[in-house]
Chains A and B, each alone.
Chain A
């Protein structure tokens, strides 16, 4: 009896405890592997999603650049205004509207010109790679100049706030 007891306490029970621990580890590892398998099933689709997104958003950096980078935009709208015969050009930037994901610089712009020139200017500006959105627009035909229009508008030019 004593031998049996010694054997049970000294060999069998520790061995069984170890076995139990090993089985628990195996179960836990199996569960982790299941989770990984589920995630790995999505690897292909994630890879394809990223590829598609990259293709779609290839111009994103130019459309909504990091930091305000307004110089090129101002140059281009000035060029476009000139080429469309718009006069009395006046561009006044306001304080930026800062958001967590995206911010914008409001620009108050005024021009004088014919409807056709103003329309072409607006179409060009709204189709530029850099995203600019007309928030407010006033197109008025002044009493003193027949055929000419006064354009006053607020344009929001978007940018991403610098992170980190």
Chain B
């Protein structure tokens, strides 16, 4: 048998409205809670981020002194490095006295030198290609060349000298330009001229 509701329809409508209102209130309460939680969370995170940022700022500022000291040191280091490079560029290489000492060491007794010439490129031009020079002679210089002329008692002495020069660490490309018989102060000698290049450690 079908149930029959004897309540009047207006009363049923009131009941339905009440039910709806309860749902709405519950909804508002839940929404309110969610908003409160979200608000708390966002404020909490913002605060935490601000604290972290402040802490990082503190660390950053505490490093300022060290950083300026580091900047100063790096600048100083650059200046010194540049100075060291200049010293290496202009101050290194074989000395002419070293070359003369080597020649006198390699030269046999049966030989005497009449002429030694040497020319090498400028270090300033090597360091700074735009360097200005008024000297024409500077431009005409032979690059790192060494020329030796003299007299020897025999061709053997010249050959010995040439081979010893070629073996030296300071000279290379040793070439005998000429050797020819000559009479000097009534004595028969062999006149010679040789050229070589010198190692300039560049």
Report which A residues bind B (CB closer than 8 A).
Answer: 3-4, 7-8, 11-12, 15-16, 18-19, 22-23, 25-26, 29-30, 32-33, 36, 39-40, 42-43, 46-47, 49-50, 53-54, 56-57, 60, 63-64, 94-95, 97-104, 106, 119, 122-123, 126-127, 131, 133-141, 153-154, 156, 158, 160
B42/A15 in contact, CB under 8 A: yes
Of the listed residues A60, A103, A122, A135, the one surrounded by the most CB atoms of chain B closer than 10 A to its CB is A135
- Interface residue ranges, B against A (CB under 8 Å): 28, 31-32, 35, 38-39, 42-43, 45-46, 49-50, 52-53, 56-57, 59-60, 63, 66-67, 69-70, 73-74, 76-77, 80-84, 86-87, 89-91, 93, 95-98, 100-101, 113-120, 122-125, 127-128, 130-135, 137-138, 141
Q: Which residues of B contact A138 (CB under 8 A)?
A: 115-117
Bound CA span A70–B140, Å: 25
* Best-surrounded residue of B31, B89, B116, B130 (most CB of chain A within 10 A): B116
Count of A-B residue pairs with CB < 8 Å: 193
CB neighbours (8 Å) of A156 from chain B are 122-124
B39-A11 in contact (CB<8A): yes
Cα A53 to Cα B80 with chains together (Å) = 6
A123 to B95 Cα, complex, angstroms: 8
Asked whether A54 and B122 contact (CB < 8 A) given A18-B46, A95-B134, A136-B141, the answer is no
- Complex CA gap A32/B56 in Å reads 10
Please report the C-alpha to C-alpha distance between residue A3 and residue B33 in the assembled complex, in whole angstroms.
13
Which residues of the partner chain A approach B114 to less than 8 Å between Cβ atoms? 140-141
User: Smallest CB–CB gap between A94 and chain B, Å?
Assistant: 5
Whether A12 contacts B84 by the Cβ 8 Å rule is no
With A102-B124, A119-B101, A136-B118 as given contacts, are A15 and B46 in contact (CB-CB < 8 Å)? Answer: yes
Q: A141 to chain B: which residues have CB within 8 Å?
A: 113-115
A102 CA to B131 CA, complexed, in Å: 9
Contacts of A33 in B (CB 8 A): 56, 59-60, 63
B29 to chain A, nearest CB (A): 12
Q: Is the CB of A12 within 8 A of B60?
A: no
Q: Output the least CB separation between A15 and chain B (Å).
A: 4
CA distance A97 to B135 in the complex (A): 8
Across-interface contacts of B66 in A (CB, < 8 A): 40, 43
Least Cβ–Cβ distance between A93 and chain B, in angstroms: 11
Question: Is the pair A135, B116 in contact by a Cβ cutoff of 8 Å?
Answer: no
